[in-house]
Amino acid sequence: MTRPNRIEIVEVGPRDGLQNETEHLSPAERVDLIEKLALAGLKQIEAGSFVSPRWVPQMAGSDVILESLRDRDDLRLPVLVPNMQGYENARAAGVREIAVFAAATESFSQKNINCSIDDSLQRFEAVCRQALADNVRIRGYISCVLGCPYEGEVDPANVVRISRDLLQLGCSEISLGDTIGVGTPDKARALIEACATEVGIDRISAHFHDTYGQALANILACIEAGVTTVDTAIGGLGGCPYA
C-alpha cells in the first residue's frame, strides 16, 4: 500500500507520559510543557486526566490546565475521563474533547479498573451520551491490543469487537495501544488490517510502547497499512502501572 503523504500526531506525553512518573509536575509546569509542545508545531496534545488524584496524583490539577488553556482554540486538548463525575469536572473546566478507555483482555481490565470489559463499556455509556449532547469529541483507547501481561497473546477479534463497541458509543477515533510493547511489525499490520475492515482505517490511531525496541518498526508497519494518525510521547515517557 502507498504510504500516506501526511501523518497526524497525537502527543500524549502530558498525560500518558507523566502519569507513572515518580516526580510530579505542578499544573503550571504541565501548562508550560503543553505550550512548548504547541510551539514545536503539535496541534493535538493530551492535556491531563480527571481520574481521582488519590489514584493518580500525577494528574492532580488537570482542571487548572484546561482553564489555563481555554483560549487555545488552535489546539485539540483531550483529557481522560473515567466516569460521569470526571466528565462533569472536565466539562466545568471547559473541555472540548475527552478520551475513554477499555482493555483487550478481561484480566487487564480487572487489574486496571476492577471490572470486566463489558462493564467498563457500560460505565461509559452515560458519559459518551452526555459528551455527544454537549458537542464534545470522544477518543477511545484500547490497551493490550497485541499482548497482555496476564493472558499473553490477544485474539485480534477481541480488539475488533471492542473497537466496534467504542464506535457505537460515539468515539470518532480508536487508539490501539501495544501497552507492554510485545508487538511485531507483522502482528501490528495484521491487527490494523482486521480492524480497518470493521472500523475504517481513517478512525484508527497507532499507539506503541518501546519496551523491546520495536515501536518505530511497528509504527512504520501501521503507516504502510494505511494508518494516518500516530500517538507519541515526548522523550519516550510513558508506561502503565498495571503492565
Tens place of pLDDT per residue across the chain (243 aa): 567 889 999 999 999 999 989 999 999 999 999 999 999 999 999 999 999 999 999 999 999 999 999 999 999 999 999 999 999 999 999 999 999 999 999 999 999 889 999 999 999 999 999 999 999 999 999 999 999 999 999 999 999 999 999 999 999 999 999 999 999 999 999 999 999 999 999 999 999 999 999 999 999 999 999 999 999 999 999 876 666
Q: Which of 105, 103, 107 is nearest to 124 (CA)?
A: 103
User: Model pTM?
Assistant: 0.95
- The CA–CA distances, whole Å, from 230 to 47, 98, 208, 233 equal 17, 17, 9, 10
**3-state per-residue secondary structure call for 153-164:** CCCHHHHHHHHH
β-partners of residue 7 are none
Instruction: Please say if 240 is a catalytic residue.
Output: yes
Instruction: Give the position of cell 502530558.
Output: 14
Predicted pLDDT at 20: 87
Q: Which of 97, 183, 184, 185 is nearest to 141 (CA)?
A: 97
Structural domains of the chain, with CATH: 8-236 (3.20.20.70)
Q: Is the dihedral of CA 163, 217, 236, 7 positive or negative?
A: negative
Predicted pLDDT at 128: 98
Q: Are 6 and 228 in contact (CB under 8 A)?
A: yes
State the Cα–Cα distance between residues 155 and 182, nearest whole angstrom.
14
β-partners of residue 205 are 175, 229
Predicted pLDDT at 4: 84
**Strand, helix or coil for residue 80:** strand
**Strand, helix or coil for residue 4:** coil
Predicted pLDDT at 241: 63
Strand 97-103 and strand 137-143: the pairing is parallel
